[in-house]
C-alpha cells in the first residue's frame, strides 16, 4: 500500500449529506474482486445518464475537478451497506482523502485499509473548506498527516484527530497483509521452534 504523508491537491466539493456506499459504487459493479478498474464507475448514477453520457453538472465531470484528490463532503459519508468496493472506487479514481463531519464506521475503517485518509472535522471547519473547494483547480488544499492538519488555499489550518495505530499504518503504507509481514521474523522463529518440538506434524 502506498504511504500517506503529505498531500497537496485539488479538492472537490460534495455538500450532499448521507452519501451512501451504493451512491459511491452501485451494486451492479460489485462482481469484481479486483481493486482496480472501479474508478470509472465511481458515483456512476450521478456521473452518467442512462445512455452512459457524462452529466456535465456533476462535480467530478467538471474540468476543474477531474483530477481531484480530496473530497469535501456532507455529513455521514459512506453510510449504507459495508462494501469495500466503495473505497476501492474512490482510490482508483484518484481520491486520497475525504473530509466530512462524520463517516459510517465500517466505511471509515475500510478507508484506512485501502490507503485513504478520512478526516473528521467540525461543521464550521468543513464549511470553510467546502467554500475553498468551490474555487476550483486554482485552490489547492494540503493535508499533513504527520502534523494532523488540513490547510486551505487561503492558509486556514484545521487540526484533526486520528487513532495513532491507524496513523502509523497509513504513514508506513501498511495494510493487513503488510502488518502481518512486519511480524515475519517472529512467525519464522515460531514455525522453526514448533518444527523442532513436534517434528511429526
Residue 55 three-state SS? coil
Residue 149 three-state SS? strand
The third-level CATH classification (topology) of the domain covering 6-174 is: Aconitase; domain 4 (3.20.19)
Residue 10 main-chain phi, psi, to 5 deg:
-75, 135
Q: Give residue 182's pLDDT.
A: 58
Q: Please, are residues 132 and 21 in contact by the beta-carbon 8 Å criterion?
A: no
Mean pLDDT of the chain: 91
pLDDT tens profile 144-201: 999 999 999 999 999 999 999 999 999 999 876 665 555 557 666 666 676 777 777 6
In the block, which residue shows the cell 450532499?
16
Q: Give residue 132's pLDDT.
A: 97
pLDDT tens profile 64-91: 999 999 999 999 999 998 889 999 999 9
Residue 156 main-chain phi, psi, to 5 deg:
-75, 125
Amino acid at each position: 500500500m502506498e504511504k500517506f504523508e503529505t498531500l497537496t491537491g485539488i479538492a472537490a466539493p460534495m455538500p450532499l449529506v448521507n452519501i451512501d456506499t451504493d451512491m459511491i459504487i452501485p451494486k451492479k459493479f460489485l462482481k469484481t474482486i479486483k481493486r482496480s478498474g472501479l474508478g470509472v464507475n465511481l458515483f456512476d448514477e450521478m456521473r452518467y445518464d442512462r445512455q452512459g453520457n457524462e452529466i456535465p453538472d456533476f462535480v467530478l465531470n467538471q474540468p476543474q475537478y477531474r483530477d481531484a484528490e480530496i473530497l469535501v463532503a456532507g455529513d455521514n459519508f459512506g453510510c449504507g451497506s459495508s462494501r469495500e468496493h466503495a473505497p476501492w472506487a474512490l482510490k482508483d479514481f484518484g481520491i486520497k482523502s475525504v473530509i466530512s463531519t462524520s463517516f459510517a464506521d465500517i466505511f471509515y475503517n475500510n478507508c484506512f485499509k485501502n490507503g485513504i485518509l478520512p478526516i473528521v472535522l467540525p461543521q464550521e471547519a468543513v464549511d470553510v473548506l467546502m467554500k475553498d473547494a468551490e474555487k476550483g483547480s486554482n485552490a489547492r488544499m494540503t493535508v499533513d498527516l504527520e502534523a494532523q492538519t488540513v490547510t486551505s488555499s487561503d492558509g486556514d489550518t484545521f487540526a484533526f484527530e486520528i487513532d495513532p495505530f491507524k496513523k502509523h499504518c497509513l504513514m508506513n503504507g501498511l495494510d493487513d497483509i503488510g502488518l502481518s509481514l512486519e511480524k515475519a521474523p517472529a512467525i519464522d522463529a515460531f514455525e522453526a521452534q514448533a518444527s523442532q518440538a513436534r517434528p511429526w506434524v
